[in-house]
Structure formats: C-alpha cells, structure tokens
Chains A and B, each alone.
Chain A
Amino acid sequence: EAQVTQNPRYLITVTGKKLTVTCSQNMNHEYMSWYRQDPGLGLRQIYYSMNVEVTDKGDVPEGYKVSRKEKRNFPLILESPSPNQTSLYFCASSFHYRGRDTEAFFGQGTRLTVV
C-alpha cells in the first residue's frame, strides 16, 4: 500500500530536549516536504526536498533542520524545541513526471507538545 509513515504520532517533550520526527515513503517519490498546522494559520511549509541531498527552506524554517540521505526518508529535527513549536506536523511526498505532478500523499501527522 502506498503510504507516508510518520513517527511518533504523539509526543510530549520539554523545552530544549532534541527530538527527531521520522518520515518514510514507499512510493519512490522525489519530492518530500514538512508542514505544520496551527489553528487560525492553516498549513505552512517548513522545509522541502526535491531529491537526495537537496533540501531548501519553506516559509517557517526557524528552529528546524532536515536531511535527505536516502530517497525514502526525510526526518525533521528540532535541535532545541520551544513551546512555540507545539503544533501538528505533516510530512508529504509527491512525484514529478513529464512536466506534471502526481497528487501529494500526506502522513497521518505528529502532534507535538513542548512544555
């Protein structure tokens, strides 16, 4: 089954304690992205990657890092989480073929609370 898998689904952590949210897709997609969803602000892109070793900032990259060492994985790293990073996080992937995108596939989401 084609899917994007995020782990963990829920996480409560303390300010300053480094954490990683993993994202893996099994569709051999080139493109992967991270978004955060906040009430009243909607979904905003954090980082994206167009292929292995190619990453770039989205709209709200401050406080986050990513890496793309393998095509299937795109982890999101919070080196020193702060309460304003409490949010619902989504990983997404898609494929580009002959000048057109496929639909974007989203993971189930990771609800992060930083206290």
Chain B
Amino acid sequence: KQEVTQIPAALSVPEGENLVLNCSFTDSAIYNLQWFRQDPGKGLTSLLLIQSSQREQTSGRLNASLDKSSGRSTLYIAASQPGDSATYLCAVKAQGGSEKLVFGKGMKLTVNP
C-alpha cells in the first residue's frame, strides 16, 4: 500500500529564505507526482506535476524534483515571501490505471515578514 510522508509537519521561516520541502513515498511504481498548495478555507491548487519519466519541473520560484528509485521528491521555493504561507501537499498517482491520488498529510509553512 502506497504511503506518502511529509516531514516536518510545520515550518516557520523568515522572509527571503530558500526552502526545501520534502516528500517521500513507499512504492516507486508511480505514474506521476503533484505538489499542491492549500490555503485556509480554500481548495487545493496544483503547483507542479511531474510525470514518472521526468526528473524535475519548474514554475517561477518553484522547482520540484523527482527521484523514483529512492522514493523522494523535493519542492524548492526560492526567496520565500509571506504570500507563500500555506499548507503544501504532495500526492502520488500509482501506475496501473487507478485514478487515486495518495496524499501526504501536508506541511504547514509560515513565512514571517
């Protein structure tokens, strides 16, 4: 059974720091991996989607990498801003046609001005 872990559960940093958010998964037979952002009282917004054949994806200040063999992904946030404060979730989709995303429990990020 696929399990996704995000450690730590919360992180508080001063503005301007470069951040690395970690995600690990137990079964390397994944179809893709997505990073989401969730703001309080709101839905999830997809930040980056990495297909299983890809090693990384970039969007603005965000860069996500994928190492299937070690069961790890990292989300790199450059020059963090208070507006980056949110909960970040990692989710994997298994190979084999299942439409299920298996989510980590998320990491709550607070960027202090």
Which A residues lie at the B interface, using CB under 8 A?
4, 31, 33, 35, 40-45, 48-50, 56, 58-59, 90, 92, 100-109
Contacts of B105 in A (CB 8 A): 40-42
| CB<8 Å pairs between A and B, sample of 17 | A33-B99, A33-B100, A33-B101, A42-B106, A43-B101, A58-B100, A90-B44, A92-B101, A101-B32, A101-B51, A101-B93, A103-B34, A104-B46, A105-B46, A106-B36, A108-B42, A109-B41
| A36 to B: closest C-beta gap in Å | 11
Q: How large is the interface on B (under 10, 10 to 19, 20 to 34, 35 or more residues)?
A: 20 to 34
Q: Is the CB of B46 within 8 A of A48?
A: no
Q: Is the CB of B43 within 8 A of A104?
A: no
- Choose among A48, A100, A102 the residue that contacts B99 (Cβ–Cβ < 8 A): A48
Q: Is the CB of B45 within 8 A of A106?
A: yes
| B43 to A: closest C-beta gap in Å | 4
| A19 to B: closest C-beta gap in Å | 20
Point out which of A33, A43, A109 has the most chain B C-beta atoms below 10 A from its C-beta.
A43
Q: Within the assembled complex, what's the spacing in Å between the Cα atoms of A33 and B34?
A: 16
Q: Is the CB of A50 within 8 A of B99?
A: yes
| B39 to A: closest C-beta gap in Å | 10
Point out which of B51, B93, B100 has the most chain A C-beta atoms below 10 A from its C-beta.
B100
Contacts of B42 in A (CB 8 A): 108-109
Q: Is the CB of A45 within 8 A of B46?
A: no
Contacts of B25 in A (CB 8 A): none
Contacts of B104 in A (CB 8 A): 42
Is residue B77 contacting chain A, with contact meaning CB distance below 8 A? no
Q: Is the CB of A106 within 8 A of B100?
A: no
